[in-house]
Each structure stands twice: as structure tokens, then as C-alpha cells.
Structure 1
Amino acid sequence: MPTETFEFQVEARQLLQLMIHSVYSNKDVFLRELISNASDALDKLRLAVLRDESLDADASDLHIELEADQEARTLTVRDNGIGMSYDEVTRLIGTIANSGTAAFLQELKEAKDTAGADGLIGQFGVGFYSSFMVADEVTLVTRRAGERQGTRWTSRGEGTYTLETVDDAPQGTAVTLHLKPADPENQLHDYTAPWTIREIVKRYSDFITWPVRLLPAGTATSDAADEETAAGEPETLNSMKALWARSRDEVSDDEYHELYKHISHDWRDPLETIRLQAEGTFEYQALLFVPSHAPHDLFTQGYRHGLQLYVKRVFIMDDCAELLPSYLRFVKGVVDAQDLSLNVSREILQQDRHIRMMQRRLTKKVLSTVKDMMNTDQERYRAFWREFGAVLKEGLVTDPDNRDALLAVSSFASTRDAEEPTTLAQYAERMPESQTDIYYMTGDSRQAIENSPHMEAFRAKGIEVLLLTDPVDEVWAETVGEYEGRKLRSLAKGDIDLGTESTDGEEGKDSGKDGQNEEYAGLLGWMTERLGEEVKEVRLSSRLTVSPACVVSDTDDMTPALEAMYRAMGQEVPAVKRILELNPEHPLVKGLNRAYAQDGDRTELADTAELLHTLAVLAEGGRPKEPSKFVRLVADRLERTL
């Protein structure tokens, strides 16, 4: 097949220009990424050979080679792993479309510091393209194991790349970087210098389970530290020790952190490192990491999660989602099992009792670690909850077995303190004896909730309310229902009578309520009939002190936010009529009742009733059913005041 030339997509060209013009402070990461890619290729080949004995592939000495030519200024990273076919090169190397380029570019623009920009390379899967930070031209030669023909890919990063088939390519992949001219003032970035290569590999890739070998230099060197390389013997640069198999005192925090960065493609250190070794009838080792920041795509449907699964040090898969529940999908790490089959598939994993046993144990270990963090280091716990609280609360709905453990490590914003969140246990401890329920309110933001009419009586009586602003709060609060015998009550649902609720523990009475109900009975009945298409009932409210009206859901009905959530998930739910509550002490409501009692023009009265309902809907963040009619009614009322 002749050589063909292709053009990069627009976003790919933008990305390459960023690489070429060196927006990154630490160019060394390119070598980390290429070695990581090579390691993955070796993992895949070893697994392929174990699963398919007929595969025509040499797996006798799997390794990674680094070859530097100081005279030609080239650096080659070579592996004898699984390799790629022509189609795979076209799909994986010829385009960056699958690497989240748009999101990468946006994150890059928003990066607050150069260190943050450095880490985005691996996080968005564009590690191969980081080669253009240090190279004027990149050539990739690869042959997939079991195939006879190879593929050569070449680009100068200027908008085009070439593809051609080759007959003499060895198994695996070789990436050759034609390095930019040397900078005499910055020898630290001479990537043909053996001592520079050694230092980078030791720092970033010492834990790689395959040997990373530096081949003899192609030209003589006067550096005394390079005698071994110059002598003609390949030099193995990494220790190849699996960190999870070594005792805690044998591994430094820096080594753990580098393994985390290798696994997660995150540039920041993890918030927490978790070790677990299970012995007995089923043995396995686990090394887990809690990130310090939530990934940008944590809540997207395509987010890839799961732990790396090994069986007796043999890599099996990269994202074994069965090892942790979905609400812990942010946790990264490695699990090495001793008694699983090497031919284990995802279908088998879903049914394997050992996997289920590991998931239960790993889940409890992560939650107990968060609990310890909460008890011993509030600052770190708050950082954790700020990043991952919303996803952790999903478990309150999906994992009833661990619900108590999840509630114990959950915290929520509260009207008690604008800065410090509270746990349910702390809330319960502060409840006066007369208060029997835990009150909460959901909304888009703290400010929106605090300004809600539903909060007025609670604020006036000094009753603490939990302020829940995550979408999942609507679901878990309904699902959980109570905490240690105390009901969780939404301020926007049911008939709440605060006549006996107060912060000083003294009981009080709303002795005038029955009389008010009798006084307003006619108006309430008429408005219920008049607004029957919109509301289930019109009644007097005990939760309002300032606003004239509010809308609430019935005790067992679905809230509008929950309706919207289910519809967004593609589920059809019937529209639910809500209840309109009136404040009998508000001048507008009093005036409306007087007008009704006078039995005057009910047409104008009907317009006022409709306006009152629409204002209540707006006050909770809803929108009028007929915006144009609402505007007309308001304009008409304003005109009469002039």
C-alpha cells in the first residue's frame, strides 16, 4: 500500500500547536506517558497469549527498550507487546477525537497554574501527543501480534500525518522522536543524555512491572556515570516491584503517589492511600487511592471507572467496575487476586462469588477510611466531602446494606452555620425535646433555599433545617425516610404544623387556627374549585410569616424536582397537582377574603387568585404555565396603580 497523507481535525491541530509551543512547564512527562503506553501493550499481549495458545506471538522476553542517539538527536521507546493493526493506528493514533480533545482544551484554558496544565496530558488520554513538546517529528512503527504486516505513522505536528504499510516491522510498537535542537543553557532537558533518561524513569516509572532497558549509546560519551551503558550491556532502569506486594515500610509515599498517577493519569497526589491484604480461603491484595479532586467527567454517562485487576501479578483488565459499587467510582487502585482464573471475563465477574466478596470487603474498607478521616482530620474530610459527597450519597439509594455506614460519614449544609456542615447525628443531638422530626429543604443553591417562602416560619422559630442542593438529595431523602427513629421531613411536602415546635423546648399552641379555617372556609373552597386544573387543594399555611402564598406537594406525592429528574432519565411520570397554601395574616390574602365575602365581581377575583398561585410558583423557582397571560395580568394590575 502506498504512503497516504491525512489531515488532523481542527481540534487535533489546536492541541498539537499547544504541544509544539510548549505550554507545559514539565516536558519530562512525555517519557512517562510513552512508557505507560508500552507497559499497557505488554500487559495486553501476556493476557492474549494466556487466553489464546494458538496466537502466533513471542512473549518469552517482554520488555521496554529506550534507545538514544545523541548525534542524530533521536530517542526511541520500543516494546514487543500487542502492537496495533493498520485500522487501529488510524483509529487510535490518527485522530484525537476519542480522547476528549474539546474538554481537554477547555480544562487547559482553565488551569490555574502550569503544574495543573502538565497533568492534563495523561488525564485526557492524549499522552502520545505530548511527544511533540520535545520533538520536531514523530515516527511510529507497529505490528500487531499474530499479523504479518506492520504500519508506519509519521507526523511533524503541522496539521498532517502519513500512513503506510511495512513488511519488516517487528512485533510491538516503536515510537521514535526526532528531538528539537539542544538548548545549551538547559542541559536538564537533553533527552538523549543517559543520566537524564535514568532520572526520569526512576522518578515516574520505577514501579512498572516490565523491565525498562536503556540500550547502549550509539556514540561514545565522556560522562563517567554512563560507563555501564557505554560498555555495551542494556541497563535495566526500574525495580519492577509491585508496590501492593511490598510491606508498608518498604514503600515511600512518593512511590505510592507515582503509582497513583500512573493508574489515574492525575497530576496531583492522592488524598488517601488504602492498603488491604486478605488472607484465608480466598487471598488478595489491594492498594486503593482516594483522589484529591473529582475528575471532570465523574457524572457523565461514559465515565470509565473500576480498579485494575491482576491475577497472581498477571494484568487482567484496566477498569474492573465489579470490584466497587458505582458510588465509589472515583476510587482508583489495584487488586491482585490469587485464586481467580486468568481467563476471567466481565460476564463471569458479574456472577463470581469471590468478586462479590471482594466488593463487600473493599467497600467497607473505603467507608471505614472515610470515617477515620472524619474523626481524625476534619480538614481532609471536608476536602473529601466537597469533591465526592454528591456521588457518595448515591449509595444511600442503591446500597441499603451499607446505608448506616454511609449516613455516618455524610454531612450536610445547615441553617445553623453558613460554613460548617453537620452530620445527622449532630443535628439530632441539638434537637429540642419538643421537636420530633429532622427538617430539610432541597433546591438549586443555598441562597435559593434560604429565600424560599417555605423557610419563613422555621427561621422565625429558630428551627434548624438541612439545606440540600445536590440532585441526588431529592431521591435519597425520600428513600431513607428516617434516621434513628426520627422522620426526615421536607419543608415542601405535607402539612407542617409548627405550633409545638420551638428551640427552647417549650410547647406552644396555635389556638386561632381552627377559627381561621372557619373564617376562610368559603374562599378556600372557591379557590380550590377555581384553580382545580392546577392545584389539588387550597388551604391555610402555618409555615408562612412574610409571603402571601406557597405551593407544596402532598405527603406521598413526587416533588417537581423529582419529576424533572425522572423525565431527564427518559422515564414518563404523570404530572402531579400540588397544594396552594395561603398565609392568613398577609394583607393580600385578607383583602382577597374580604372581597370574596362581599360577593362582588368574581371575574376580577379569579384573576387575583390566579396571580397569587403563579407568584407562589415563581417563588420556589418554577415558571408560569402561561407566561404571556401572567405578564398581561401583572401589567393590568400595575396600570391600575398609576
Structure 2
Amino acid sequence: MGSSVETLEFQAETRQLLRLVIHSIYSNKDIFLRELISNASDALDKLRLESLTDPGLTEVDTADLHISLETDKDARTLTVRDNGIGMSRDDLVELIGTIAKSGTAGLMEKIRQSKDAATAESLIGQFGVGFYSAFMVADKVTVRTRRAGTDTDTGTQWESDGEGSYTVQTVDGLPVGTAVTLHLKPADSEDDLADYLSESKIRQIVKQYSDFIRWPIRMAGERTGEDGSAEAGADTLNSMKALWARPRAEVTQDEYNEFYKQISHDWLDPAETIHMRAEGTFEYEALLFLPSQAPFDLFSQDTKRGVQLYVKRVFIMDDCEALMPNYLRFVKGVVDAHDLSLNISREILQHDRQIRGVRRRLVKKVLGAIKNMQANDAERYTKFWAQFGRVLKEGLIEDTDNTEALLELVSAASTHDPEKTTTLREYVGRMKDGQEAIYYLTGETRATVENSPHMEALAAKGYEVLILTDPVDEVWADRVPAFDGHPLRSIAKGQVDLDEPAEGDRSAEQARRDEEYAALLPWLTTTLSEHVKEVRLSSRLTTSAACIVGDTHDMTPTLEKMYRAMGQQLPAVKRILELNPGHPLVTALRTAHQANADDPALAEVAEIVYGSALLAEGGDLPDPARFTRLLTDRLTRSL
């Protein structure tokens, strides 16, 4: 006996997503079957895994785990059935009735921004909502399921037409597992979907998208016996071959590409394939892929790593954090270890010496593959770095063991060529005679950096400067001491002296300048003490009146903002105001101060000089209204 039917409403976001799935996202409707088979495979994996550790599942039959595809041409239904872990009523409502945990708002925005169908199609799998693709071909979907480990044969039925609501009811007589039945849209709709009831069509879709699923995918119906006669039964449609266990020479790139798409839900081919086998005291196979395009949630807090762990071809876990560092979270693939316990936990993995050894080797293989791409295909590498360079640079902060390898990969904009990026190795090859440091400047945009006063002297003397505009650049460039023996030096910090006059000439020039500004500099330091810790003369300016710099070991303003945004309390860092002794404004200020040091207007000019220098580097004025008033009054008096 079943219970009364309960009608529930979809979340508003779910209704919006359903409309997009049905009308906008997929141009290739075949994908619905891949998504449903993938979900069924996950259910089988979970049952196998939980049966190893949950005493309540010891009676569950795991000897014949499989996926069945059943068609009824008269009723126009297609059913995808599995005998996996199944779902409870609460599971159904949480996983299907709502998708809040999947980041719906972000998905909707990405779909709206997508310029082509292929991009839009790739988004569904990334949010884990592929179940909804069933409504592209069905005007009603029925899910009947029973959770493994329950004492009775009572399960739950979920049903919806994909509009505003769904029904849930308790039903008796259900086997363990899940059956998803699609009631195909009628033939007089936009296009006839009867092909999806055809065995040949179903075989073609399974071969294309699900051939490497490790569980049998069976098609109910007639099959040919050994004597050529027709007999009842079910054919297995997929090869179930563990691609990673086959010799590389026997696998085609097309097979690699399809396997990658199956495990990643990506529509694009991978940028690189890494197939390796380790033998000896600890044996394992690994099949890893570098994507061509970064997933939209690469920098989301909830992003998971994409490497699956198997033991002797038995699935253990998705997103195995122990196998891949966070900065390589975009790597997809499979690692199949031969000598681990099947019921190994995440906590044990983190401390397992052999797993740490596997991780070190995998990281070196991945970085080596990226290096080979850089060396052999510059155009492909440029595209890859544009997608993943920002996250790879996180490794310069996290992974000190591979700092040198990661530095070799860094590709950055520079003043050498506005159209191309450069590697650090290329930069060093172009360094001027006698130049020791690799100069760089961080900022929000290339335009901001190029127009910074800090650039003036270096540009005038032909020194190349790296232009670093990713937020992570603020951290790694400050922490990495050197590349190939050359220190990395921010031109916005410390002293920058590019002049090379004779020692006696330098001393005489310095002494003359010090004498001319002996009174002005300490007065300015006192007047602006609320904002700066020192005012000094600059050797880095050629056209601007002033700039603001940090001490060699000071935190940059951008980094300070980042830490504050993360809730860290930091003391205010006062910086240094540098003046261009040859600028007319600075010399006029010096002359006015010599004439009347007590003139209150001089303090206002000092504030304007400081505020202008702050604006020139893209900083925030402490009191914009006051600065505007001072500047307006000054301009008015000059007219």
C-alpha cells in the first residue's frame, strides 16, 4: 500500500533552472542519458563503498551491481534503473526538489553570460544538476527508489512535470536502488523523440558517452544466442574497460577524450593527457587530464579537487585531496592503487607515507607536462596559462618543494612587449648589463601599472618591468626570494637608484640636494605624519612630482586590504612619500617654505601633493571631500 500523495513546490531558483534546461541550455539532447547513467553509476559506487564499512549493509547483494535501460514504445517511456545505494524520502527532496547547494545563482549568471551553446552546455555538469536534463525529452519524470539498509521493501516515489511542483509518496514493493522513468514528450511536439526508444540509438549514446563506466549497462530485450537464435536476456552495452589499466599504446586519443568528458562533464577535449604506471614497492596507475578551459567555480570556496581514488579498480572516493595539492585542483583523472586497504579513510590517507609519495610524483608529472607544453607549443601554452596561471601561482605560496619548477612556468605581462607575455627565463635573457634584480610592479590593471609614477625612471632608462595584476601576485612575488639567482624586486618598495655616475660625482650631487631640501623634508614629514612615516627625495621619478613607496619589507596596501577583507586585524602601515627634486611644483614648494615656513597655505599644498601621489597609484584618499575642496580652492586662487 502507498501513502497519500504530498505535493511540494520547487524552489524559485529550481523552476528558473528547469526552464533554462528545457529551452536554452542543451543543443544536443543525447546528453540526458549520459547524465542519468552517470548518476546511476555514482549510486553503485556508493553502495559498494558503504557496504565495506557499514554493518547494516552486509546483507545487500553487491555481486551483480548494474545499470538497466528499459524501453516501452507503446507507453513512450525510457527507464534508467540501478540497484545501487538508493535514496530516502529526505534524500529525494533535498537532492532533486532543491538545488540551493549547487550554487544556482552562479549557474544562472554564467548561462546568461555564455556566448555559445557549447559553453552553456558545459555548465550543467559543473553544478551537479544533470538530472534536470531529463525534462528536455520528457514531459513527466517518475523516480522510484529505496535506500539500501532499510528493513522493509517500502520506498519513495517522486514525480514531476518540470513545471512548478512535484509529488512525493511512499510506495511498497520496491527493490533497493533507483529507477528513473522518462515519459517522452508526444510525437506532435517540437520534434519526435521516439529515437530514444530505439535500441540502436541507445547503444550509440552509451558507446559515445558511457563506455568506460565500470558497471555493466544492460539493455533489456532480445539477444542472439550462441546458435544464432533469439533469446530473452539483456546485452551489456559498455566495454567496462579500465582505460588507465590498458597500455598507453593501445589507447587512442579519442578514447582518452571521451573518458575525460565522462569524468569531468566537460564538453571540450583536454589540453593534455598524462597516463602513467608506477611499479615497485607501491604499484599504481594514474590517468590524469589538464582541462582546456577553467571551470567557472575554480576559485570558489567549495571547489573540489578532481582526482578519483580507486583501489584494485574499486572506487573509493571522489575529489581525493590527499593526491593533489589545492593549486592543482583543476586536474581531473583517476589514480588506481594496488596496495591500499579498500576501506581506507580520508584521515588515514592524509598521513599515509605511500600516498604522500604518490602525490609528489603526480605533482612532478603534472608540472612536467605543463613545462613540455610551454616548450613545444607556445600558442597552446599561452591559452592554458590564461585559464590556469592564476591558480598555478598559488603553488608558489603553498608548495616550497616545487618553487623552481613553478617559477619556470610563470608567464607575465611586461613592458617589453604590450602584446605578449614573458617567462622569467626570457626576462633574465634580456636583462641589461649589470642588472641584478628582476623588477616588477603590482596593480589592479595593466593601465594602472604602466601609468604609475614608479615606472618613470625605469622606463626612461630602458629597464624591463613585469606587470603583475592578479591578486595572488601580491603574495607570491613578495615571498619568492629569487629566480635563477636574481632577486625579485618591487619598484614600489625600498630605494631604487638606477644612476651610475662616478662615486665622487654622486656624493657631490647628493650633498647639494640634501642641503637644498634640508628644511623642507622634515617639515613635510611632521605636517603629513598622520599619513606617512617619512618624506624623502626620489631617484625613481622623472615627470611626476611625487610618489608613495613602501619600505623594503612593508606589506603592500593591496595585500593589507586583502587581509582585512578576510577579517584579520592589522596595524595601519604608514608609507614613504618621495619627491621629485626637479619638478616645478616641488621646487616651488621648497622656495615658498624657505620664504615663509609658517604660511598655513603650505600645509594645504602638502596635502594636495600627498593626495595626488595616492591617486596616481590607484589608492583611496583618506578624506576625498577635503582633498576636493583644497584642490578647488587652490585652482580658484590661481585663476
> With structure 2 as the length reference, what TM-score do the two structures score?
0.95
Q: How far off its partner does 1:601 sit?
A: 4.5
Separation of aligned partners in 2, 1:228 and 1:101: 52
1:117 maps to 120
Q: Which residue of 1 aligns with 2:164?
A: 159
SS at 1:449's partner residue?
helix
1:72 aligns with 2:69: no
- Match of residue 88 from structure 1: 91
1:228/1:158 CA distance change after superposition, 3 Å: farther
1:472 offset after TM fit, Å? 1.0
Measured in 2, the distance between the counterparts of 1:586 and 1:229 equals 99
Are the equivalent residues in 1 in contact too, given 2:69–2:219 (CA < 8 A)? Answer: yes
| Distance (Å, rounded) in 1 between the aligned partners of 2:5 and 2:255 | 44
State yes or no: 1:210 paired with 2:215: yes
Deviations 1:48-91 (A, max 9, x none): 11223541322121000000111110000000000011111111
Tell me the alpha carbon deviations over residues 164-212 of structure 1, each in whole angstroms, 9 at most, x when there is no partner: 1112111000000000123699678621111110100000000000000
Q: Evaluate the alpha carbon distance shift between residue 393 and residue 321 of structure 1 in structure 2; reply closer, same or farther with a 3 A threshold.
A: same
Residues 228 and 320 of structure 1: CA distance in aligned 2, closer, same or farther (over 3 Å): farther
- Equivalent of 2:181, from 172, 176, 179? 176
Q: CA deviation at 1:434?
A: 2.0
Q: 2:557 aligns with which of 560, 568, 572?
A: 560
Cα shift at 1:24:
2.1
Q: Describe the shift of the 1:511–1:291 C-alpha distance in structure 2 as closer, same or farther (beyond 3 A).
A: farther
Q: How far apart, in 2, do the equivalents of 1:229 and 1:385 lie?
A: 58
What are the superposed Cα offsets for residues 446-488 of structure 1, whole Å, 9 maximum, x if unpaired? 1110010100111111110011111111111111121222221
User: Within the alignment, does 1:633 sit opposite 2:636 as a pair?
Assistant: no
**Could you give the per-residue CA deviations for residues 409-455 of structure 1, whole angstroms, max 9, x where no partner exists?**
21211100112221222211211222121110000111110010100
Contact conserved, 2:137 with 2:193, CA < 8 A, in 1? Answer: no
Mapped partners of 1:542, 1:189: distance in 2: 78
| Shift, 1:559, TM fit | 1.0
Is 2:110 the counterpart of 1:107? yes
Contact 1:306–1:322, Cα closer than 8 Å, also in 2: no
Q: C-alpha offsets along residues 134-188 of structure 1, whole Å, 9 cap, x if unaligned? A: 0000000000101132110000011000011112111000000000123699678
Instruction: Please state whether the residue corresponding to 1:191 is helix, strand or coil.
Output: helix
Partners of 1:342 and 1:229 in 2: CA distance: 43
Deviation at 1:570, TM superposition (A): 2.2
Gaps of at least 5 residues in structure 2 are none
Tell me the CA shift for residue 306 of structure 1: 3.9
Task: Name the aligned partner's letter for residue 12 of structure 1.
Answer: T
The CA deviation string for residues 106-139 of structure 1, in whole angstroms up to 9 with x for no partner, is: 2212222222222222122110000000000000
Distance across 1 between alignment mates of 2:228 and 2:141: 28
- Which of residues 582, 587, 601 in structure 2 aligns to 1:590? 587
Output aligned runs, 1:245-324, within 5 Å: 245-324=245-324
Aligned 8 A contact 1:51 1:342 in 2: no
Runs of 4+ in 1 over 4 A off after TM superposition: 183-189, 227-231, 507-511
CA spacing shift, 1:185–1:609, aligned 2, 3 Å: closer
Q: Distance in 2 between matches of 1:297 and 1:431?
A: 38
Count of aligned positions: 630
Aligned-residue identity in percent: 62
Structure 2 contact 185–193 (Cα < 8 Å) conserved: no
Q: Which moved more, 1:20-29 or 1:55-64?
A: 20-29
**Alpha-carbon separation, structure 1, partners of 2:506 and 2:487:** 22
8 Å CA contact 1:261–1:269 kept in 2: the answer is: yes
Residue of structure 2 in register with 1:374 after alignment: 374
Q: Which amino acid aligns with 2:184?
A: L
* Structure 1 pair 9–481 and aligned structure 2 pair: CA distance change class (3 A): same
User: Using the alignment, how far apart are the partners of 2:597 and 2:358 within structure 1?
Assistant: 74
SS in 1 for 2:233: coil
User: Are residues 559 and 21 of structure 1, via their aligned partners in 2, closer, same or farther at CA, if it must alter by over 3 Å?
Assistant: closer
Q: What is residue 475 of structure 1 aligned with on the other side?
A: 475
C-alpha displacement of 1:641? 2.9
**1:63–1:211 contact (8 Å) kept in structure 2:** yes
Q: Distance in 2 between matches of 1:398 and 1:105?
A: 33
- How many angstroms apart in 1 are the aligned matches of 2:168 and 2:189? 35
- Native 8 Å contact 2:439 2:465 kept in 1: yes
* Contact preservation (8 Å) 1:434, 1:500: no
Residues 82, 522 of structure 1: alpha-carbon distance in 2 compared, 3 angstrom cutoff: same
Return the offset for 1:264. 1.4
Give me the TM-score of the superposition, normalised by structure 1. 0.95
Query: 5+ unaligned residues in a row in structure 1: which ranges?
Result: 502-506
Aligned mates of 1:601, 1:43 — CA distance in 2: 82
The residue that corresponds to 1:46 in the other structure is 48
- Contact conserved, 1:500 with 1:508, CA < 8 A, in 2? no
Matches within 5 A, 1:206-605: 206-216=211-221, 231-500=231-500, 512-599=509-596, 601-605=598-602
Amino acid across the alignment from 1:602: D
Does structure 2 retain, via aligned residues, the 8 Å contact 1:396–1:403?
yes
**Partners of 2:21 and 2:610 in 1: CA distance:** 58
Alpha-carbon distance in structure 2 between the residues aligned to 1:509 and 1:274: 58
User: Could you tell me how far apart the structure 1 residues matched to 2:508 and 2:321 are?
Assistant: 59
Distance (Å, rounded) in 2 between the aligned partners of 1:125 and 1:346: 22
Please state whether the residue corresponding to 1:140 is helix, strand or coil: strand
Kept after mapping to 1: 8 A contact 2:184/2:193? no
Alignment check: 8 A CA contact 2:323 2:359 kept: yes
The 1:592/1:22 distance shift into structure 2, 3 A limit, reads closer
Q: What is the alpha-carbon distance in structure 2 between the residues aligned to residue 62 and residue 550 of structure 1?
A: 70
Question: Structure 1: how far apart are the matches of 2:411 and 2:204?
Answer: 44
- Aligned partners of 1:231, 1:464: CA distance in 2, in Å? 77
Other structure's SS at 2:221 match: coil
* 1:224-277 Cα shifts (integer Å, max 9, x gaps): 9xx999742211110000110111232222221121112112121111111111
Give per-residue Cα distances to partners, 1:360-384, cap 9 Å, x unaligned: 0000000111111111111111111
In the TM superposition, residue 499 of structure 1 has moved relative to its aligned partner by 0.5
Q: Aligned residue for 1:199?
A: 204
Find the partner of 2:617 among 614, 620, 630: 620
In the alignment, the residues of structure 2 paired with residue 397 and residue 196 of structure 1 have an alpha-carbon distance, to the nearest angstrom, of 50
Q: Answer whether contact 1:444 1:469 (CA < 8 A) is retained.
A: yes
